[in-house]
A and B are shown apart, each in its own frame.
Chain A
Amino acid sequence: MAIRRYHYARDVDEALSLLLAYEGRGALLAGGVDLARGPGTDVEGLIDITAAGLGGISRDAKKGLVIGATVTLEEIRTSREARDYLGGFLTEVMRHVATLPLRCMATLGGAVVSAHPWADIPTALIALGAEVAWRNEEREERAPLEELYRRPFRAIFRRAVLTEVRLPAWGGAFAFEKVSRNAGDIALLNCACGLGVKDGKVAWARVAVGATPYRAARLTGVEELLVGESPSAELLAEAGRKAAAEAKVGDDLRASAEWRRAVIPALVRRALERAAREVKGDA
């Protein structure tokens, strides 16, 4: 089935009513990168939400970040709000994602909904404890992204519009690491780690690994190992080794499970070391 109509939605209500009217044969787009690469054969109508009022980056009352679904990755990378959040952690993550022309097109909402297992953004968002909001025909709903990905989220977004991503304030530091064949390529493995330190001990830890080749997941066993301990070089190395044991890894055409298991310790250790260096001890 060829694409028959292209709509420009003026607000979320219009986007949602068009989406519902297509009964599964419509698709929302902002950047449109994934859809242009190959829309599903059942897509008849494209609904452009670029002008639906879902742009903008702002700080919330608790000094977290609120990012609209149609904000592009390059807008995030160059924004003052992202530079001021967690010492520019998001700015650094965006620099690792694809290349400039694709970052000028791709949006945060697109990255969340496409949820490619190799993507860098879900890994960073899961480590940050991101919450996403969406509108369906009944109400506005919210959920932590980590929880949403355990639900049938593709079915949810066939009848809902993702509106924003909320990132909580953290009194610590995060770092992102990625291994890929070249700078613009997709990840063979990626990892985002956060640490808060109080009185010389780890007060909280967040560790997420993605492109394993499965979608990013937190490694709670590694987080538990770190909490309450002094962030010494030995502890962070042990955390890396435990990450390799805890992460679910597999083979794909880019790398073997064996290779991934061998690389995870160094990747997680590096991210933890960088977070530990940057943390200010005010968790």
Chain B
Amino acid sequence: MKVYFELNGEQKYVEIKPGERLLDLLRRLGMKSVKEGCRTGECGSCTVLLDGRPVRSCLTFAAKAKGHRITTLEGLGSPEDLHPLQEAFLETGAIQCGFCTPGMILVAYHLLSHNPDPTPEEVREAISGNLCRCTGYAKIVDAVLLAAERKRKGDWR
């Protein structure tokens, strides 16, 4: 079957299998920021935004993308033009192995899109579904708060 959807602002019309997961489709389309961790919806490393809301791509059928807007980390920034959240993660040391980082940044992006001035507790709650085995989370919280501060000052897109 073929489905239309928007991926990071680009229209796509692609062949999918009826039982295929969104995670596998996105990686097949070159979105390698979408990581396969647990494949049971627990770890959060496959998180993407569907119409702006975070979902687990490992537990989402690819067919559900039809007519919707999918955003992966590739849609926020690039190595040449980092998103302010990516810059904040780098500056605060919130990245170690990096496997959880795309999912963390996408849930943080969703949080800041409707709460520009979160408390540390609200940041912790927002990232609570995303596991990181390296950082201990403190620097990730710092990074999101730093990005929020910059967003409030207008350094954001």
Q: Which residues of A contact B (CB under 8 A)?
A: 2-6, 8, 29, 32-33, 35-37, 39, 46, 48, 50, 74, 98-102, 104-105, 183-184
Docked-complex contact A4 and B18, CB < 8 angstroms? yes
Sample (29) of A-B pairs whose CB atoms are under 8 Å apart: A6-B61, A8-B66, A32-B64, A33-B41, A33-B56, A33-B59, A35-B61, A36-B21, A36-B59, A36-B60, A37-B41, A46-B19, A46-B61, A48-B61, A48-B64, A74-B53, A98-B129, A99-B129, A100-B107, A100-B126, A101-B41, A101-B107, A101-B129, A102-B59, A102-B129, A104-B53, A105-B55, A105-B60, A184-B129
Q: Indicate the member of A35, A37, A101 with the most B CB atoms within 10 Å.
A: A101
Known: A37-B59, A101-B55, A101-B107. Contact between A183 and B128, CB under 8 A?
yes
Across the two chains, which residue of chain A brings its CB closest to B42?
A184
Pair count A-B, CB < 8 A: 73
For B64, the chain A residues whose CB sits under 8 A away are 32, 48, 50
Across the two chains, which residue of chain B brings its CB closest to A38?
B40
Query: Is residue B148 contacting chain A, with contact meaning CB distance below 8 A?
Result: no
Docked-complex contact B59 and A48, CB < 8 angstroms? no
Choose from B18, B60, B128 the contact partner of A6 (Cβ within 8 Å): B18
Docked-complex contact A3 and B53, CB < 8 angstroms? no
CA A46 to CA B64, docked complex, whole Å: 11
Cβ contacts B51-73/A at 8 Å (1 or 0 each): 00111101111011010000000
The 7 closest A-B pairs by CB, nearest first: A99-B129, A3-B19, A6-B18, A6-B63, A36-B59, A101-B54, A104-B53
Docked-complex contact A32 and B59, CB < 8 angstroms? yes
Chain B contacts with A in 14-57, Cβ cutoff 8 A: 17-19, 21, 40-41, 44, 47, 50, 53-56
Docked-complex contact B128 and A184, CB < 8 angstroms? yes
Smallest beta-carbon distance B132→chain A, Å? 14
Smallest beta-carbon distance A63→chain B, Å? 29
Docked-complex contact B18 and A5, CB < 8 angstroms? yes
For B97, the chain A residues whose CB sits under 8 A away are none
For B59, the chain A residues whose CB sits under 8 A away are 32-33, 36-37, 102, 105
Across the two chains, which residue of chain B brings its CB closest to A78?
B114
Choose from B18, B40, B60 the contact partner of A3 (Cβ within 8 Å): B18
Smallest beta-carbon distance B119→chain A, Å? 16
For B63, the chain A residues whose CB sits under 8 A away are 6, 8, 46, 48
For A6, the chain B residues whose CB sits under 8 A away are 1, 18-19, 61, 63
Smallest beta-carbon distance B123→chain A, Å? 12
For A46, the chain B residues whose CB sits under 8 A away are 18-19, 61, 63
Smallest beta-carbon distance A54→chain B, Å? 16
CA A8 to CA B21, docked complex, whole Å: 16
For B56, the chain A residues whose CB sits under 8 A away are 33, 101-102, 105
Docked-complex contact A100 and B19, CB < 8 angstroms? no
Docked-complex contact A100 and B21, CB < 8 angstroms? no
CA A39 to CA B63, docked complex, whole Å: 15
For B21, the chain A residues whose CB sits under 8 A away are 36
Docked-complex contact B58 and A36, CB < 8 angstroms? yes
Q: Indicate the member of A33, A37, A99 with the most B CB atoms within 10 Å.
A: A99
CA A36 to CA B60, docked complex, whole Å: 6
For A3, the chain B residues whose CB sits under 8 A away are 17-19
